């Protein structure tokens, strides 16, 4: 992680975890609409309402979004994260679909499905490309996981499966405005 990457406060992590845990059905529905190309103005309004509680704490972060993730790991893992990301300075503008595919190595075992949030320094349109990341999480049944990339992208996940992970990896992100 670079020295210019600000840390996330406990307040932001707790707010994101609460949104992920309490809004999992809405998150899944919105990500499905983005993936299928059926995104509407009503979806944008629902997205803004969902992330609104965390906006006041974001400071230098320019992107916030909702994500769903699936992974399988036994020493070497594969992960897919799909979500919707908006610009914190213009939340009513059309958001972006965010798609990440990555692999990691480390002390990791399990399969899980997660819902969560992404908080990033860059504007949504700049989040594309290759990213190196570190992942630390542990959940038995349900728990919170945190992942950070070297360019200031943070993921806060509410895990629904059994998972233990301390790993590092590389992945590729694509973003496209909805």
Q: What is the pLDDT of residues 71-102, one digit of tens each?
A: 777 778 888 999 999 999 999 899 999 999 99
User: What pLDDT, on a 0 to 100 scale, did the predictor assign at position 139?
Assistant: 59
Assigned domain for 135 exists: yes
Structure confidence by residue, pLDDT tens digits, 119-166: 999 999 999 999 888 877 665 555 677 777 777 788 887 766 666 677
Assigned domain for 92 exists: yes
Dist CA 178 CA 151 (whole Å): 24
Structure confidence by residue, pLDDT tens digits, 35-58: 999 999 999 999 999 999 999 888
Assigned domain for 5 exists: no
User: What pLDDT, on a 0 to 100 scale, did the predictor assign at position 64?
Assistant: 96
User: What pLDDT, on a 0 to 100 scale, did the predictor assign at position 65?
Assistant: 95
- For residue 158, the cross-strand partners are 115, 144
Is there a contact between 39 and 53 (Cβ–Cβ < 8 Å)? no
Would you say residue 169 has pLDDT above 60?
Answer: yes
Structure tokens at 23: 């809004």
Range of the domain at 18: 10-177
Dist CA 128 CA 117 (whole Å): 17
Torsion of CA 3, 155, 136, 77, to 10 degrees: -110
Dist CA 28 CA 155 (whole Å): 16
Would you say residue 27 has pLDDT above 60?
Answer: yes
Assigned domain for 2 exists: no
Is there a contact between 54 and 13 (Cβ–Cβ < 8 Å)? no
Q: How many domains does the chain have?
A: 1
- Range ranked top by mean pLDDT from 18-32, 83-97, 160-174: 83-97
Contacts of 41 (CB under 8 A, 6+ apart): none
Other beta carbons within 10 angstroms of residue 110's beta carbon come to 19
Assigned domain for 3 exists: no
Assigned domain for 65 exists: yes
Assigned domain for 143 exists: yes
Assigned domain for 99 exists: yes
Percent composition of the chain: helix, strand, coil (DSSP 3-state, to 5): 25, 50, 25
Would you say residue 12 has pLDDT above 80?
Answer: yes
């Amino acid at each position: 992680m670079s020295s210019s990457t600000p840390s996330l406060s406990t307040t932001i992590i707790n707010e994101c975890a609460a949104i992920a845990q309490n809004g999992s059905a809405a998150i899944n529905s919105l990500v499905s609409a983005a993936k299928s190309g059926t995104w509407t103005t009503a979806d944008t309004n629902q997205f803004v309402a969902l992330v609104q509680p965390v906006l006041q704490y974001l400071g230098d972060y320019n992107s916030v979004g909702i994500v769903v993730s699936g992974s399988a790991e036994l020493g070497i893992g594969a992960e897919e994260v799909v979500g919707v990301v908006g610009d914190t300075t213009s939340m009513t503008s059309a958001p972006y679909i965010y798609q990440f595919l990555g692999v990691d190595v480390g002390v990791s075992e399990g399969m899980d499905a997660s819902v969560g949030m992404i908080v990033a320094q860059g504007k949504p349109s700049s989040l594309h490309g290759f990213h190196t990341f570190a992942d630390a999480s542990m959940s038995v049944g349900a728990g919170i996981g945190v992942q950070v990339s070297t360019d200031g992208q943070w993921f806060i996940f509410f895990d629904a499966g059994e998972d233990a992970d301390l790993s590092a990896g590389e992945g590729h992100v694509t973003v496209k405005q909805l």
